Structures are given as structure tokens and as C-alpha cells.
Amino acid sequence: MSTIVYSANLARWSVCANSDAETGSNTGSNFILSRYNDAGVFIDNPLTINRATGIVNFSNPPTVAGGPYLQTITLVFPPQTTYYVDFNAGSDLTGDGLTSSTPWRSLQHAINTVSSRYVYSGLITIQCANGTYTCAPEEMACEIGPSQIAEWKITGNPTNPSYCYIDASAVGARGFSSTHGFVLIDGFQVKVYYEAYVANTGSLVIVSNCNAIGTQPLQSAAFVAYANGQLCLQGVDGGTVLSTLTMSGSFLCGILASEAGFVQVGWNDVSVASPVNFVLSSPSFTTAFAQAQSNGFIAFQPGMVSFYGAATGPKFFVSSNGVVGTNGQSTGYLPGSVTPVGPWSTGGQYV
């Protein structure tokens, strides 16, 4: 069936569904717009739409206002720099994220939406309301990839992180992971199957005032840096800011640096002092509290790290040129019930 537009009894345009067979899953009967010359002879199909996928195809590059289409599509500055998420009251369908009264429902939707719409050279904040954010199996609570947003700050409840609770304990689930240039994460509690907080592939991630609950003694890790990622466990707002990190449950390891990943614990220079308190609510570590492998490096800033509570398992593990740096502290310095005895294997170092 087709609709043809005529001029002086000569075809000019036709609109139809083509004869592609309908074999299920919305395939077949695709939309076609055809054009004809002055003699009523078919020229081509300038536009087609696939019924199954909704993909629109053009026979020639489209233009807008006389210019190439791709040159007229530009990212715009965001109307504001803070957006809102509320798992209990928000909606990814009807919310706009602009106010706490019209929030989105999921962190991932917030990141994806702002990333796809805007370009911004400053800091964008995603403010999450108190509540329980649940991950499905094999799902990640929040993955921050490269975008035109220079910096992200993802904030829950820094005063009471347990009030902003991410349940990523389903099989294969993960908490936060970033391959973006600069991300601040402040005020969350993550119960996790795999990793809770990850800096990956050259990203810089600062984690402050967060809790990690492990569920898998052979899988879970709390704070992780992979593949040249840099993870900083410290305060996030500059000046002298104390960060408290709480660990409980069962982990493979607490802090992991692998594949040239770097974890900085605490910070102190001429302008910023950022001490870290680890509150250990009887976590257990199968491999170690601090594990450095495959050229990974974990650095504990002298005088800026304190440990409260007790943990079970090895204090550290180093291998494959991995380094745990404590500025000369004894091998009993880190939390755990087992103090490793050197020499360390395959070039690993505890210094």
C-alpha cells in the first residue's frame, strides 16, 4: 500500500511500507519516502525508517538551515550545575532532575542524561536523596565514562553515609566505577559483590566519607585502582577535611592497586591536609587489607591515616612489582590479624 502525490498526473512523491517480509520481532514493512523527476520517473528513496529498530537512513547527508546537519548539532551549557536523584520518589521517565521535587530515579540515568546533553568545563554535582538504591545481578550502580563534563561530584549523605545505601550485593553487581578524568564520590554506603569504588583506565577518583560492605570473601574489594587509574581516599572540599571510611563484611581485599593503578590514602601538602580515619567493623580479608600487584602502588600518607577497630586476615600482600608504601612503617602497621613475613614474591615491595 502506498500514497502517491501527483502534479499534472505525474508522480512527485510516494510514501509506502515496503515489501520486506514480516518475520516477527517487528521486522519487515519498513517505511519508505520516494521522489520522482519532472517526467514522473523514480529517482531514489531519500528517507527510510526501519520498523524494528526505528533507525532513520538518508540517501544523502541531511542539512539544517542550508548547512550540514552535523555542523549544526552542538552540545550546550547546562542550565544549572546540580541535578537530583531519588530512588524512592524519582522517575527516569517523567523526572527532569532539575529539582529535588522532580528527581530522576537512578544515578546511571542522571550521568547518561547530563553527559549526552551538555558540555561544561566546571563541576557538575549529582545529589542523591537518602534511600536504598538496588542493583540487579551483573549491574553497576554508577559507571562514569568519558564526556564533555570536566568534573563530577556525586554526593549522598556525607554525615550519615548509611542513609544513602547502594545494595550491589546481587551476583556480579558492582558499585561505582569511573574511566572519566575527575570524579568525587562523597557520602555513600555500598554493599557489594565485586568492587565498591573503582578508578579505572587513567581516571582520577576521590572517595570520601563512604562505607563498604563486602559479601564475597573471594570476590569483593572495597577501594580499587586498575589500569593507570588513580584513587584518592581523602576529603573532597579542600582545606583541612577529615574523611571517614568504614569497612565491614567479607572481602577478598580491602584496598587493591593493580595494572599500574595507584591508590593514595590521606593527603598532606603546603595547602591541604586531608586525614583519613578507617573504621573497621570486624571486616575479614582473604588476601589482605592492602594488596598491590602488577605494578600497582598503594601509598599511605605519613601522619594522615588512622585505624580504629579490628580486622582479620593478612595485613598486606605484594607481588609482580606491586608496592605498598608506608614511609617506613613496620609490617604490623596496617589492619589485620596476620603479619606477612618477607621476602616478598616476584618483585613486590613493602616499604
- Give tens-digit pLDDT for 302-351: 899 999 999 999 999 999 999 999 999 999 999 999 999 888 879 999 99
Are 168 and 201 in contact by the 8 Å Cβ rule? The answer is no
Q: Which has more pLDDT, 202 or 65?
A: 202
Residues 117 and 66 in one domain: no
How many domains, the chain?
2
Backbone region of residue 88 per phi and psi (left: phi > 0; alpha: psi in -120 to 50; beta: other values): alpha
Among 48, 71, 94, give the residue marking a domain's end. 71
Residues 194 and 240 in one domain: yes
Are 301 and 328 in contact by the 8 Å Cβ rule? The answer is no
Residues 55 and 100 in one domain: no
> Is 0.75 topped by the overall pTM?
yes
In a domain, 77, yes or no: no
Among 17, 41, 71, give the residue marking a domain's end. 71
Residues 92 and 226 in one domain: yes
Helices then strands, each counted (H, E), the chain: 2, 31
What is the SS3 assignment for 145? coil
> 43-69: per-residue pLDDT in tens?
888 888 988 888 887 777 676 655 555
Residues 119 and 260 in one domain: yes
Residues 183 and 50 in one domain: no
Q: In terms of DSSP bridges, do strands 297-300 and 323-325 run parallel, antiparallel, or are they unpaired?
A: parallel
Residues 51 and 169 in one domain: no
Are 254 and 222 in contact by the 8 Å Cβ rule? The answer is yes
Domain span at 308: 82-350
Residues 59 and 95 in one domain: no
Among 20, 46, 71, give the residue marking a domain's end. 71
Which grid cell sits at 1?
500500500
Residues 99 and 56 in one domain: no
Residues 199 and 180 in one domain: yes
